[in-house]
A and B are shown apart, each in its own frame.
Chain A
Amino acid sequence: MLKLEINQRSWDVPDFQASEMLVWVLRDTLGLAGTRYGCGVGVCGSCNVLIDGVPKRSCQTPTADAVGKKITTLEGLAKGEGDKLELHPVQAAFLENPLQCCWCMSGHIMNAVALLENNPNPNSEQIDNAMNENYCRCGGYNSIRQNVTRAAEIAGGRS
């Protein structure tokens, strides 16, 4: 069995899936559907997860390469459970001002989480640079721009 550390939990994956791309292991094998498949060639970014804190295309990451690293997916962002569930500031911002179909949303959120970890108050140029690599076919790019700024406000206690 391969051992993966995802969202601060240990998960077992059959050895034969070492060469399968992480996006399918997350989605199909482990049932973590929050990571979305969009293109399989690393262009659209819907499948972004954090690997040791850095946004990576999980459709371009063989599962073996993720062993021994800390993986964070959309499911690992909120704290607590049930009624006590507390959304991550980036999730909270996207709840206030949603995209449309939201299939790409997970990838954008992972990018924003990583950006804000390194730079809690990004300016608009820094936001554009950090968020430009992912597609949104429904055209919610301006919502994405606004939501990163808003998430920084929420995280900084400026609600």
Chain B
Amino acid sequence: MKAKKAPLTPEQRWKMTRRRFLIGTGSLGVLAVGGYFGLNEGRPAMVDAIEKSGASRGGKMPAPNLWFELKLDNSMVFYAPKFEMGQGIHSALAQIAAEELEVDWKQLEVRQADSSKGFDPNIMFTGGSTSVQDLFTPLREAAATMREMLKLEAAKQLSVGVVDIVALRGECFARQNVSKKLTYGQIVAAKQTEWDVPKEKPNLKARKAFTSIGLNAPRVDVRAKLLGQPVYGYDARVPDMLYGAVARAPRYGATLKSASAGEAANQPGVKQIVIDLKANFAGVVADTRTRAREALKFLNLEWDGGTSMGQSEIEALVTARDGEGVVIKKRGNVDAGIQTGTQVSAEYRTPFAAHAHLEPLNAMAHVQASKIELWVPTQSTSSDMKGVQAVVGGEKREIVVYPMQMGGSFGRKGAQSAALEAVRLSNAVGKPVHVGWTREEDIQHGFFRPPSHTWLRGSLGNDGRINALDQVTASGDILFSVIPIPEPIKNLIGFDFGVLSGLFSPYEIANYRVRSHRVKLPIPTGTWRGLGIFPNTFALESFMDEMAFAAKTDPLEFRLKHVPATEDGARLKRVLEDVKTRSDWATLPESGRARGVAFSSLGKTLVAQVAEVSIFEKRIVVHRVTVSIDAGLVVNPANAALQAKGSVVMGLSSTLLEKLTVKDGMVEQANFKQYPLLTLKETPPRIDVNFLEGGDTPYGMGEPAIGPIGAAVANAVFALTQKRIRELPLEL
């Protein structure tokens, strides 16, 4: 995923994204800090820099001809360098492109760009709610450049000045004489020689002139899915293909001590047994998936080592205590401040969780003499290519990744894929091989949202405001598990950047300190929708309620009372007031119900939620969730609303049901019978979303709305029962 470090002009630089930039900081910035001593003092500044900086991630903007193909019949192909997992990104990007191209978005045929189209690996990455905010300006610039090139050429062909050319709906016409016009296709047809790309940046349209951005354009990917066309990775199909299955270790970290084909080679349909002890790999290729999986059971395998850790040991490790961790935020004097006024303290815990995307991990590979082709449902093509050349050996071969649609991902298909497994098997058998994981493999052999534990202590002044807040958060690794920096450096840094999501209280608190306690577990953990935002917000916003209760103040008013007098504070106030009005906060809910509020932010996106709950047969029932979001400019409000509602439902599933536990070095739950997800009947029939639009810039939408729901529900349960539940999933 590393960018080439060619010198770039500011115009060529992409706006930073949280995740990319953080990787840059991890590999460069920390070493530049220089010494062990002084680091503790320097850490809060480092975190501030990460939060505020708009530094580059160094990806190069590709030339416009890589984005678009304009055909003579005036149809256009748009090669989208971002991957579709149901978030509607292909549609949103088409709307953005159409805006500046001056075409109807329906005129664009959106195709997935594959890894050979010349896009920078950093752009062939989809995650962290970054796609729209990253590409908003560069894509508009690319589209506007193409529009200006067409206008220049139209002016020549129509013999009028370029200032008199108007581009609209795929045509250029003369302002004074609208019958003088050419379609974009006709302009290209009449100029079949080289085109010059203008040196100056084109003018972009003002927001008030937008006709495509902001529209609820229908999704471009749905029709094929409705007709059952093979668009997902698990559907990938080429002639002559075979199916692979791969042996899994019984404990995390276990290695293959010995392996032999045994009776597996004689099972029906088996084409090849592939064993590589050094790579801890044993797999089978067969003519059907079922036969490959059956034959796998007949391999003679001996596993060695690995962890034998269990749940209680993990929870003991992932425990935040006063004085632990490294200081990553510091304001005022917490130690003094905490001694004055009324003290409140509490601890919160969240468990391991699975992504549980319904399309399990999979990949197809075809290793050929000159090139290697991969079909992968992926969030990052460069991570799929990693290690491929080493597996096949020999001369360097071209590797092409065809990103397939994802049947959900939530962070999982970015850092890990089945590509290398398919490559190994295809390389051995000489044919295309598809490896599709079972649900059991997918749940047990992935990586998980790490467990977290947060210790909080606050003091209330006589004015009913928080005087000091002291916070220690312990968590397993999130981004450290994918960032290629050595372990000693990670230890030196002392905190995982992924934990920062949703970690800091947005409220005005004079004396505030945050310590982060990194726990490296022998259980694989990593990126899960929104990184730290869901576990962190559960703790922070539950505690905010506990402080409000201690202050004998309405929890929503208590939050409003702590809004800082800054620009961000004004935005925070706006979402809180909107959710207050729309959730009917000021009026009592029907008897037997209560409401809870919570807030979180990710990047510049702010989300407030109110949950309305009751208890029925000792179970928490959520009836209604009201969501207020400021995500800046919203490109496609209908799809953005689906993202918000989906985040609420997924977060609710984690709030009420989901928990993975570890026994003898392996996650105990293997399938949905032991790890149930939220069902239709458990889903609140009312999830009302409102976007408070502001500014000319879009912010992220895929993750932020998952933040508040855990605390909103826990706070509502407290309001109803006076019982405070500090552990997820919530159990009465």
Contacts and interface: CB of A to CB of B under 8 A. Distances in A.
B650 interface: yes
Contacts, number: 170
Interface string B332-365: 0000000000000000000000001111100000
B438 A40 contact: yes
Contact of A37 (B221, B225, B226, B436): B436
Interface string A132-151: 11111111111111000000
Interface string B229-271: 1101011010000010000000000000000000000001100
Interface in A101-118: 101-106, 109
Contacts of A98: 218-219, 222
Which 5 pairs, one residue from A and one from B, show the smallest C-beta to C-beta distance?
A: A34-B228, A139-B649, A103-B407, A101-B86, A100-B86
A41 interface: yes
B290 A137 contact: no
Say whether chain B's binding surface is mostly helix, strand, loop, or mixed: loop
B673 interface: yes
A98 B114 CA distance: 25
7 contacts: A39-B671, A98-B218, A101-B405, A104-B358, A105-B225, A135-B679, A139-B683
B243 A43 contact: no
Contacts of B549: none
Contact of A20 (B85, B228, B290, B685): B290
Contact of A128 (B229, B407, B680): B680
Given A103-B359, A140-B642, A43 B672 contact: yes
A21 B678 CA distance: 26
A137 B647 contact: no
Nearest to A41: B671
**Max chain B CB contacts within 10 Å: which of A33, A38, A100, A139?**
A139
Contacts of A39: 439, 671-672
Given A16-B268, A41-B439, 15 more contacts: A17-B288, A33-B234, A34-B227, A34-B228, A36-B358, A36-B359, A37-B360, A95-B218, A101-B85, A102-B86, A102-B221, A103-B357, A139-B649, A140-B649, A141-B649
A38 to B, nearest CB: 5
A94 B225 CA distance: 10
Contact of B288 (A29, A102, A138, A139): A29
Interface string A87-101: 100010011001111
Interface string A21-49: 10010011101111111111101101000
A100 B87 CA distance: 6
B476 interface: no
A65 interface: no
Interface string B399-418: 00000011111100000000
A135 B677 contact: yes
A98 to B, nearest CB: 4
B583 to A, nearest CB: 17
A139 B410 CA distance: 12
A39 to B, nearest CB: 4
A101 B406 contact: yes
B408 A28 contact: no
Contacts of A17: 288, 290
A67 interface: no
**Max chain A CB contacts within 10 Å: which of B440, B647, B680?**
B680
A74 interface: yes
B645 A142 contact: yes
A29 B85 CA distance: 26
A61 B409 CA distance: 27
Interface string B82-99: 000111100000000000
Nearest to A131: B680
B439 A101 contact: no
